[in-house]
Structure 1
Amino acid sequence: MKFFNYICLLLLAAVSSCSTTSEETAPLNETENLFLIQTLENDHHFLELYSESGELKEGYNKILLRLQDKIDKEYIPNAEVEWIPVMDMGTIKHSAPNSEVVKAPGKNTSYEGYIIFQMAGGDSGTWSLQINYTVDGENFSMEDRLQVLASPRKKVTVFKGKDEVNYVLAIIEPRQPKVATNDISAALYKMENMHKFSIVDNYRILIDPRMPAMGHGSPNNVHLTQGNKGVYHGKLNLTMSGYWKINLQLEDETGEIIIGEAITDTNQDSNIFFELEF
């Protein structure tokens, strides 16, 4: 009986060991739930761009990047990557607010960042993306055009405040709004020049959501204040499904409203806003 029990324990240990080894060696799917947007290339590497939709649109776009060696087909885990989005409108060119490209958390060969496209590509101009990167001390670059689609609802607003500063304000969340109190977040940048944008610190973004078709708003919203990584966060209460206009006011660090109007009985809209429909 002791010998039988000993054999059972050995078999149990073997099965457990195989299971653990299998789990530990399972390959990491670094693009799970993401779709390929497009692939850029030069003589040495491919660069794959991914997003949750497989598209780029006006407004905030979180993008995952993977760099692949053309010869051995291996993905590169140790690159230093920079990007420069450029809109060519024929007579002028400008860039777009964007983050640094960093190693994607929990992944081995993926990098991530975001770009806020102020406008769609089309007859008015064409977007391109320049990539500058370093692998093992050697510098490379590549560039290609991007297709940036128009958003069906307003997700980004560009304006000049009463302080004569040009701003770009883009909604980040909620991407999938629901009838509830939603987390709302937004990115706020000011234009230093046509090719440089910087995060705006210590402002407030005041929100007043309204359903124009129903003639009502919603209670218990929380204005957006700045949190980690420069992003602004608040609470957005959506009391029913349908089309919502999120009226906005921008308040500077002194408490002065530099753009946007309060909603009153005689004023039903602010001149800056986001739109949601679900």
Structure 2
Amino acid sequence: MKSFNFWIIAILFAVTSCTIDKTDYEAEIGSEVPESLEFKEATSLTSGNYKISIEALNGTFYKGYNELHFKIINTQNNQELTTAAVTFLPIISNADGSKSSCPHEYNVLYDSTNKYYNGYAVFTGESTTTASWKLYISFTADNQKYEINKDVTVEKQSNKNLNMTAFAGNDGEQYVIALISPQKPTVSENALVAGVYKYNKPTTPAGTFPDPSQFSYSKVVGYTLKLDPRMPEPSMGNHSSPNNKDLTQENDGLYHGVVNYTMTGNWTLNLIMMNQNGLIVKGTIVPTDHTPGVEGVKSELYIDTLF
């Protein structure tokens, strides 16, 4: 628990620092928005006669939301394993020895239509010289349980439309919001999709490492993300746009809404997160007055985008 608190404090400090510092909008305008459409192998692990291949978009693990495809192959007969009980646990280790995880699909299930085990990870930080990620995976085959792990590299997310934020809510819980789509918006009303997750505080002492009960996250259920997109740079007066739609949860467990980008450039998705009872968990109302020449005020909870 101490290690998680250390991590979230560091995240909040970084967010606060970014809010205080003036954004260099001029340097960002005209930046090309990258888009990844193809799943490629990002890493592989081998245990006994079995190889696990993990695919991600562009064959890279990025900070933020990553859809992951797992394939398990018996290297002796080249047959795919489709009935295994697979678990997946990403853990980051810091220079001081503290360890924490991130939102992830722990029990990874097989998708018989697409022929892979489907999961995800919302990596909350990039790999650095003082912070390293390791994947812990287990699966069963031939009535035997295999447990393997491997160090992996998490890269900086260069597409701001896939940004994320981690924060402490007014309820004392730790949350993560990660943008999932659109990767490459257009000047129009865009379907906006985000994942919203909560850290499950352990209720029992830690067992043998890595004890999944100490690193558990769940999808937040039944909340609402009220959306107010603005162009915060001084020349744009922090203006908004019409026809936006707040994000609510749909059957896939993700949060869906609409953001209307009326022009290209820097946008801020100002958010107010409300629980099932309509109580504000995090976020503040953004002033409606336009202030040309002054950088726009942002909500207490926001995610910057750029296209």
1:156 to 164, 173, 176: 164
TM-score normalised by structure 2 residue count: 0.75
Distance 1:44 1:119 in 2: 33
Aligned length: 246
Q: SS at 1:49's partner residue?
A: strand
Residues 82 and 132 in structure 1, CA contact (< 8 A), matched pair in contact too:
yes
Distance 1:226 1:34 in 2: 26
User: What percent of counterpart residues are identical?
Assistant: 30
Report the CA distance between 1:105 and its aligned residue: 4.8
Distance 2:111 2:232 in 1: 40
Residues 58 and 118 in structure 1, CA contact (< 8 A), matched pair in contact too:
yes
RMSD: 1.9
Residues 38 and 58 in structure 2, CA contact (< 8 A), matched pair in contact too:
no
Which residue of the partner structure matches residue 286 of structure 2? 263
Aligned residue type for 1:147: T
- Where in structure 2 are the equivalents of 1:244-255 lying within 5 Å? 244-255=267-278
Which residue of the partner structure matches residue 217 of structure 2? 197
Aligned residue type for 1:235: V
Distance 2:58 2:267 in 1: 22
Point out the structure with max Rg over C-alpha: 1
> Measured at CA, do residues 168 and 33 of structure 1 come closer, stay the same or move farther in structure 2, by a change above 3 Å?
closer
- Where in structure 2 are the equivalents of 1:104-123 lying within 5 Å? 104-108=111-115, 110-123=116-129
Which residue of the partner structure matches residue 192 of structure 2? 184
TM-score normalised by structure 1 residue count: 0.82
Distance 2:251 2:130 in 1: 35
Which residue of the partner structure matches residue 52 of structure 1? 57
Residues 79 and 136 in structure 1, CA contact (< 8 A), matched pair in contact too:
no
1:105-148 CA deviation, whole Å, 9 max, x = no partner? 5233x211111111111133111101110124321121101111
1:62-94 CA deviation, whole Å, 9 max, x = no partner? 011111212223322322211011111142111
Aligned residue type for 1:190: K
Unaligned 5+ runs, structure 2? 1-36, 202-213
2:133 to 127, 137, 157: 127
Distance 2:301 2:112 in 1: 34
Report the CA distance between 1:176 and its aligned residue: 2.2
> Measured at CA, do residues 176 and 137 of structure 1 come closer, stay the same or move farther in structure 2, by a change above 3 Å?
farther
Q: SS at 2:252's partner residue?
A: helix
Which residue of the partner structure matches residue 20 of structure 1? none
Which residue of the partner structure matches residue 79 of structure 1? 84
Aligned residue type for 2:110: K
Distance 2:142 2:256 in 1: 39
1:217-264 CA deviation, whole Å, 9 max, x = no partner? 211111011111321111111111222211111111221222111110
Which residue of the partner structure matches residue 277 of structure 1? 306
Unaligned 5+ runs, structure 1? 1-31
After TM superposition, the structure 1 stretch with the greater mean CA deviation from structure 2, 125-134 or 49-58, is 49-58
Distance 2:303 2:141 in 1: 41
Say yes or no: does 1:166 pair with 2:189.
Answer: no
Report the CA distance between 1:271 and its aligned residue: 2.8
